[in-house]
């Protein structure tokens, strides 16, 4: 069991690495190769520029999405959780992109020809389109990684899995130690549901064993109706 748990943890960590590093790096390389930046900044400058505009915003969005998923208790559908995190991160990402472009514009003045004037109509339209594409891309990758690789970083809790974990001993044979623990819990006055949760068995199993041991209504010697 420990080996399986370790493997699952290692797998999720590997998927985290691929998602938060591999994906933005691939997107940045494509942008550097296909975009006009290499002609202005040179190959090295273009790679550094697009990497800075890919990795940091991607990870910022991941951080905000993680905080949002914890805040919501992972009760929302995955696509909606991803969308909420992406939208909530927009102010941070926009501020970061503005700072990077300002610095890059000072280093490579020719870059200004590719970027519309700040806060102009063209700039707002370009920013809205860019943010919209980024949000759609983020949602798509989150869902794809979850569906194809079993990535659970932002996924809602699996109710069926939780039920299996809760009642993992359902149907297992009762040992003398189990009976001693059951009598002790019954004697303490705990209700069947609390006992079932502690012993990781079903309520029906607890009631059946209680009856077999001659106990009633979860108390020693109590034969009144439940």
Which segment, 22-26, 38-42, 149-153, is predicted with the most confidence on average? Answer: 22-26
DSSP assignments along 144-198, one per residue: HHHHHH---SSPPP-HHHHHHHHTTTTTPPPPHHHHHHHHHHHHTT--HHHHHHH
CA 122 to CA 82: how far, in whole Å? 28
Q: What local confidence, expressed as pLDDT, does residue 177 receive?
A: 87
pLDDT of 164 higher than 60:
no
Give per-residue pLDDT as tens, 77-90. Answer: 899 999 999 999 99
Q: Nearest-CA neighbor of 209 among 190, 188, 189, 181?
A: 181
Q: Model confidence at 162, in pLDDT bands (50, 70, 90)?
A: very low
Confidence check: pLDDT of 155 > 90: no
Q: Tell me how far apart the alpha carbons of residues 93 and 88 are, in angstroms, rounded to a whole number.
A: 10
Please state, as a whole number, how many other Cβ atoms lie within 10 Å of the Cβ of residue 97: 18
Q: pLDDT per residue over 57-78, tens digit each?
A: 999 999 999 998 888 877 788 9
Q: Does the global pTM surpass 0.75? A: no
Give the mean pLDDT of 88-109. 91
């Amino acid at each position: 069991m420990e080996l399986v748990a370790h493997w699952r943890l290692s797998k999720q960590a590997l998927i985290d690495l691929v998602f938060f590093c591999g994906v933005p790096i691939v997107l940045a390389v494509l942008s550097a190769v296909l975009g006009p930046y290499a002609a202005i900044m040179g190959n090295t400058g273009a790679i550094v520029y697009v990497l800075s505009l890919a990795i940091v915003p991607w990870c910022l969005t991941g951080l905000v999405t993680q905080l949002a998923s914890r805040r919501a208790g992972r009760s929302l559908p995955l696509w909606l959780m991803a969308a909420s995190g992406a939208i909530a991160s927009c102010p941070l990402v926009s501020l970061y992109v503005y700072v990077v472009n300002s610095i890059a514009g000072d280093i490579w003045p020719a870059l200004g020809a590719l970027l519309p004037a700040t806060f102009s109509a063209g700039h707002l339209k370009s920013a809205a389109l860019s943010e919209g594409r980024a949000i759609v891309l983020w949602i798509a990758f989150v869902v794809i990684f979850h569906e194809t690789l079993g990535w659970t970083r932002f996924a809602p809790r699996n109710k069926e899995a939780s039920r299996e974990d809760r009642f993992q001993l359902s149907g297992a044979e009762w040992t003398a130690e189990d009976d001693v623990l059951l009598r002790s819990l019954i004697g303490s006055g705990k209700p069947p549901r609390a006992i079932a949760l502690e012993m990781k068995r079903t309520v029906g199993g607890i009631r059946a064993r209680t009856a077999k041991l001659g106990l009633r209504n979860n108390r020693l010697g109590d034969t009144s109706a439940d």
